[in-house]
Chains A and B, each alone.
Chain A
Amino acid sequence: MHERPCGTYDVRYEQTISMAVLRTPFHKIMLAFFLLFLFTVPPFTFSIYILSVINVIGIWIIVVHGLNLLTGYCGQINIGQAAFMMVGAYASAILNTKFGFSFWICLPLAGLITGLVGLIFGLPSLRIKGFYIAMSTLAAQYVLPWVIIHLPELTEGIFGCPADSPTIGGFVFDNERKWFYLIMVFAILMTFFARNLVRSKIGRAFVAIRDNDLAAEIMGINIFRYKVLAFFLSSVFAGVGGALMVHYMGVAQYEHYTLLDSIWFLGMLIIGGMGSVPGVIFGVIFLKGLNEIVLAFSPFIAHVFPSLAETVAAAIGPIVFGVVIVLFLVFEPRGLAHSWETLKASMRIWPFPH
């Protein structure tokens, strides 16, 4: 990340490493080609099923960006991101169905509402840190669904709250291909938002708090303010992701946002590499892809071991997930983002070893 091809020098302050997202013309060309590829090839070549997987990946990328801000950059472990996503989903669905707002108003409002709810669960961070914060977010994972089930006038309780498909003029986002464009636009916007946030004053304050909170406080960073801000921003991302998810699926169901999902988000963050924006994207794609491969292979395993047939699909997923996480923690704790940097560096200096 800090190396570049020979002969490329920073001549203006804005170009320096921490200031610029796109530093060289090569970066800009690559990005343009990538976007062109993304918006033309997948929607017309991939099957509807693969598109639906990609759509979920896009939404999860937004949610895990939020988790990355809080856990990866600010160092506060959050085992309740799915619960905050659920708040966003229900907020958007309720605003849409009960109050008749359109998707384009519901989405930002849902992000804001989720941010405020996340802020409440961030308040204990005034007095506690590290592991105890994880406990407070774990409580969110149990308390929030309970609240939603017990407000049936608003949320329809266990039946789930319906939500409309978004429209622009007369254009309705009602199939996977149209949703692909909408979700990718949001995923790219939120990725840029996250990328810009972490290289701003706020992002640097987060990193300072993560690395040493005492030192950060001595340098004049208001720790409590920034921790609560991290909770707020993280939940805003979760809320936007949840709002997209609910309009995409058409109904808000509290059963879709469980502790297991929260754990998966953390796993994606670990695999991708904490405190890295590209890492989030790698992690989500890797884990979701792995899960799809496992699902595709489980009929085959069931065929080879007929005695296990009925249970393989339910059992293999968690086992593979757990094993992959442990392997990453032991062998590549800095995640795929670090592998990617190593690979890039070795490509650049090939055929020399160093």
Chain B
Amino acid sequence: MILFSQLMMTGIMMGGVYGLMAVGIILIVKSTGVFNFAHGAIVVFGAFIFWSFLVQMGLPFWVCVILLFLWAIVLGFLVERLVLRPLIGQPLLAAVMATIALGEILNGVVVLLWPGPGRVYRPPFLPSGAFHIGEITFPYNQVACFAFCMVALIIFALFFRFTRTGLAMRGASEDHQLARSLGIKVERIFRLSWIIAVATAAVGGIIAASFMSVDPGLDGLGLYAFPAVIFGGMESIVGGVVGGISVGVLQNLGGGYLDRFVGGGIKEIAPYIIMLLILIIKPHGLFGYERIERV
């Protein structure tokens, strides 16, 4: 029972990070209709650049945050303008391949700028230590990260629900042409979505790096977000959060209970097996729209 609770706890904490990643992907799907395969690479880039500001350059924390958001604005703008805008109206594969190529470019840039093995760092802004409830351990930094993810996700939800820009983004996701005829600047919406998504990815990367390490392997987190997106459904922010937490929990439970029977490694592939099952059983996910579409 203790093992179960501990695994659940770790799963939920990890799931919060997956959820944050998934929301970044869903945001772009919702507004532009493009699935972003470069998300993992942006996560790595964001984590590295924050680490660079904070540790290499030794800047104060708040300056780092401001610089990170400036970087997110620049990168989001460049990506939208140089890669995605020329591909409007092209088939699905072109957009998919463009984001994959973008991921490769960013991976290359990261290797070029920060060569060698990963960097371990303990972020000074997160508390260290742990507290206990019964027999279950709650490390402070993981709890803080989870709380931060949840706050970020609630802000997103409120933003979509109650602001003018959020409404415009929802409108643009429904139909580009229709949104345009209602006076929404669709290009501006696309740009904004990419900037927010890049910022989300970077924040997710920084959080994950605080209990792993800053290295190109964080890329994998972006890939684990795909099963979360599929699980929750491609069009729903809530779905992304639920999907992320479910994937985190199932991954940890699978790793904890099944590893001894098959010789390890369940943790790495559990999300993908879940994804295959979801694709076969309920392809639109828990909260996705079931479009009337025969295949």
> Which of these, A123, A131, A274, A316, contacts B108 with CB under 8 Å?
A316
Does A136 contact B276, Cβ atoms closer than 8 Å?
A: yes
Does B86 contact A330, Cβ atoms closer than 8 Å?
A: yes
Q: Is A10 an interface residue (CB 8 A)?
A: no
CB distance from A348 to the nearest CB of B (A): 29
Complex formed: what's the CA distance from A263 to B82 in Å?
Answer: 21
Does B100 contact A263, Cβ atoms closer than 8 Å?
A: yes
Q: Inside 8 A of B223's CB, which chain A residues have their CB?
A: 138
Does A138 contact B97, Cβ atoms closer than 8 Å?
A: no
Scan A215-256; emit 1 where CB is below 8 A from any B CB, else 0.
Answer: 001000001000000000000000000000000000000000
Other A-B pairs beyond A127-B280, A325-B98, 7, CB < 8 Å? A77-B93, A128-B279, A129-B295, A131-B92, A314-B111, A318-B104, A329-B94
Q: Which 6 pairs between the two chains have the least Cβ-Cβ distance?
A: A322-B105, A319-B108, A318-B108, A325-B101, A322-B104, A315-B112
Does B230 contact A135, Cβ atoms closer than 8 Å?
A: yes
Complex formed: what's the CA distance from A130 to B34 in Å?
Answer: 12
> Which of these, B97, B263, B272, B294, contacts A325 with CB under 8 Å?
B97
Does A123 contact B98, Cβ atoms closer than 8 Å?
A: no
Q: With CB as the reference atom, state the residue of chain A lying closest to B229.
A: A135
Scan B96-123; emit 1 where CB is below 8 A from any A CB, else 0.
Answer: 1110111111111101100110000000
> Which of these, A131, A146, A321, contacts B35 with CB under 8 Å?
A131
Scan A183-225; emit 1 where CB is below 8 A from any B CB, else 0.
Answer: 0000000000000000000000000000001100100000100
Does A71 contact B93, Cβ atoms closer than 8 Å?
A: yes
Interface residues of B in 258-295 (CB under 8 A from A): 262-263, 265, 268-269, 272-273, 275-276, 279-280, 283, 293-295
Q: With CB as the reference atom, state the residue of chain B lying closest to A224.
A: B295
Complex formed: what's the CA distance from A227 to B283 in Å?
Answer: 17
Interface residues of B in 142-178 (CB under 8 A from A): none
Q: Inside 8 A of A166's CB, which chain B residues have their CB?
A: none
Scan A269-281; emit 1 where CB is below 8 A from any B CB, else 0.
Answer: 0100010000000
Q: Inside 8 A of B280's CB, which chain A residues have their CB?
A: 123-124, 127
Secondary structure at the B interface, as helix, strand, loop or mixed, is helix
Q: Inside 8 A of A213's CB, which chain B residues have their CB?
A: 295
CB distance from A336 to the nearest CB of B (A): 15
> Which of these, A128, A267, A322, A333, contacts B283 with CB under 8 Å?
A128
How many A residues, CB 8 Å from partner? 51
How many B residues, CB 8 Å from partner? 44
Q: With CB as the reference atom, state the residue of chain B lying closest to A145.
A: B269
Does B275 contact A267, Cβ atoms closer than 8 Å?
A: no
Q: Inside 8 A of B83's CB, which chain A residues have their CB?
A: 326, 330
Taking beta carbons and an 8 Å cutoff, which residues of A are in contact with B? 71, 75, 77, 79, 123-132, 134-136, 138-139, 142-143, 146, 149-150, 213-214, 217, 223, 263, 266-267, 270, 274, 308, 310-312, 314-319, 321-323, 325-326, 329-330, 333
Q: Is B190 an interface residue (CB 8 A)?
A: no
Q: Inside 8 A of B35's CB, which chain A residues have their CB?
A: 131
Q: Given A321-B101, A321-B104, A326-B102, are A128 and B111 also a contact pair (CB < 8 Å)?
A: no
Q: With CB as the reference atom, state the residue of chain A lying closest to B295.
A: A129
Q: Is B194 an interface residue (CB 8 A)?
A: no
Q: Inside 8 A of B126's CB, which chain A residues have their CB?
A: none
Interface residues of B in 170-220 (CB under 8 A from A): none
Selected A-B contacts with CB under 8 Å, 18 pairs:
A127-B283, A146-B269, A263-B100, A263-B104, A266-B97, A310-B116, A315-B109, A316-B108, A316-B112, A318-B108, A319-B108, A322-B101, A323-B101, A325-B97, A326-B98, A326-B102, A329-B101, A330-B86
Q: Given A124-B280, A146-B269, A333-B90, are A132 and B230 also a contact pair (CB < 8 Å)?
A: yes
Complex formed: what's the CA distance from A77 to B95 in Å?
Answer: 12
Complex formed: what's the CA distance from A330 to B88 in Å?
Answer: 10
Q: Is B3 an interface residue (CB 8 A)?
A: no
Q: Inside 8 A of A322's CB, which chain B residues have their CB?
A: 101-106, 108
Complex formed: what's the CA distance from A283 to B105 in Å?
Answer: 19
Complex formed: what's the CA distance from A127 to B223 in Å?
Answer: 23
Does A150 contact B105, Cβ atoms closer than 8 Å?
A: no
Q: With CB as the reference atom, state the residue of chain A lying closest to B234.
A: A131
Q: With CB as the reference atom, state the residue of chain A lying closest to B280.
A: A124
Interface centre among A127, A323, A326 (most CB of B within 10 A): A326
Complex formed: what's the CA distance from A330 to B295 in Å?
Answer: 29
Q: Is B87 an interface residue (CB 8 A)?
A: yes
Does A329 contact B279, Cβ atoms closer than 8 Å?
A: no
CB distance from A129 to the nearest CB of B (A): 4
Does A326 contact B101, Cβ atoms closer than 8 Å?
A: yes
Q: Is B226 an interface residue (CB 8 A)?
A: yes
Does B115 contact A135, Cβ atoms closer than 8 Å?
A: no
> Which of these, A135, A136, A270, contacts B97 with CB under 8 Å?
A270
Q: Inside 8 A of B101's CB, which chain A residues have their CB?
A: 267, 321-323, 325-326, 329
Q: Given A150-B262, A311-B111, A322-B108, are A214 and B294 also a contact pair (CB < 8 Å)?
A: yes
> Which of these, A77, A127, A314, contacts B96 with CB under 8 Å?
A77
Q: With CB as the reference atom, state the residue of chain B lying closest to A133.
A: B279
CB distance from B7 to the nearest CB of A (A): 20
Q: Inside 8 A of B82's CB, which chain A residues have their CB?
A: 326
Q: Inside 8 A of B94's CB, which chain A residues have their CB?
A: 270, 329, 333
